[in-house]
Chain A
């Protein structure tokens, strides 16, 4: 594989665990659908459009606990609702342009596979926690604490959790 002349020489160093990324907290969201007057049996937090080109991480989800950190006990009392894991690419391992998804540029007759970095979707079932909160409150915040499981010098460690949309979906 020839390398373009203007491609900077990089090195690959083994991935290591890497602390905590920027913690995300949403605004207040109406959760009245999970109140005791409803027959909801399951509520999922849907997270869409997650970038997974950077570090791998565990995303710990807390409801109504905007001060949550990686040290916060993961129990109902502290609003802990579940976890999702992002098995990520750890930075670009190719020449410039290799990790550009280019979804909008695809032709109708382009039968090649989608780019592996097409943004991901995760769902975290948060039923017990949201039900408990909904007994006393009509709204809740969502806090996600990204704890990095694998990172090296090819990727940034600050803004680890990036997504396009979060939503609750309730089933009855």
Chain B
């Protein structure tokens, strides 16, 4: 939709788009108050512990299956924060199904340690939580696995083919869990995963797959009693995040601006 901001694949970002993204991340990371990167990343695990995982079971009754809606609300708030820094940027998605030569494991944009002699804000983040138990003070780490172990397009297609909401949600959460483990390091543990800058691109891919499933299946088989469950600490309920267009965004593979005046 033309009026919506578009989230592109990391592998298709143009140089200006990547520059904007890096500037937005760097701006976020430089802020220490509740608009900043550390505060937002800290909502997921330590110290906030608001995230939802592994709840597709009878023990949690009405609170089941909030993994996808909660993370959509979370990404929305993070993206808004990025756009407060650089208004033209959007969250990109990391398509971990891509194989060489297009991509080998982590996207270069998030892997290179330095850009133009400066630390790459997409590669790591310095966490400073001195009052948690234990204190978490240090730079995020990764320990990627063999790229051939990442989920394939066939895995994604099989997941999307599952028409039942719970069945689909559990299958997608499995792909999600496997990529967290594949990246390793901070990404491998719930309490600290969101401090790694690639967390957001990974979850953007998960959100995109959910949206692809929704385009195909609609929302009719999402349990009605789930719709008014709040997605704390965000000012949203499940029903508020069902349509990404209502949140002002959509997904595209890539894109580039064309000067209206032409060249001749």
Contacts and interface: CB of A to CB of B under 8 A. Distances in A.
B163 interface: no
Interface stretch (A29-37, A62-70, A120-128, A129-137): A120-128
Given A57-B181, A85-B174, A93 B60 contact: no
B143 A17 contact: yes
Given A114-B60, A116-B53, A90 B170 contact: no
A15 B178 contact: no
B143 A16 contact: yes
A: interface residue count bin: 35 or more
B60 A118 contact: yes
A12 B63 contact: no
Most buried by A among B45, B46, B180: B180
Interface residues of B, number: 45
Contacts of A57: 181
Interface stretch (B85-93, B132-140, B210-218): B132-140
A1 B132 CA distance: 7
Interface in B19-58: 45-47, 49-57
> Max chain A CB contacts within 10 Å: which of B132, B184, B191?
B191
Q: Name, among A83, A89, A120, A149, the residue most crowded by chain B CB atoms within 10 Å (CB to CB).
A: A149
B135 A11 contact: yes
Interface of A: 1, 3, 7, 9-12, 14-17, 48, 50, 52, 56-58, 83-90, 93-95, 103, 113-114, 116, 118-123, 149-150, 152, 154
Interface of B: 45-47, 49-57, 59-60, 63, 131-138, 141, 143, 145, 170, 174, 176-178, 180-182, 184-193, 232
Given A86-B177, A113-B232, 12 more contacts: A3-B131, A12-B134, A12-B135, A17-B184, A56-B177, A85-B177, A90-B189, A114-B63, A118-B59, A118-B60, A120-B53, A123-B170
24 contacts: A15-B186, A52-B190, A56-B188, A58-B178, A85-B181, A87-B176, A87-B188, A87-B190, A88-B190, A89-B190, A89-B191, A90-B188, A90-B190, A93-B45, A93-B136, A118-B54, A118-B59, A120-B54, A121-B170, A122-B174, A149-B145, A150-B181, A150-B189, A154-B134
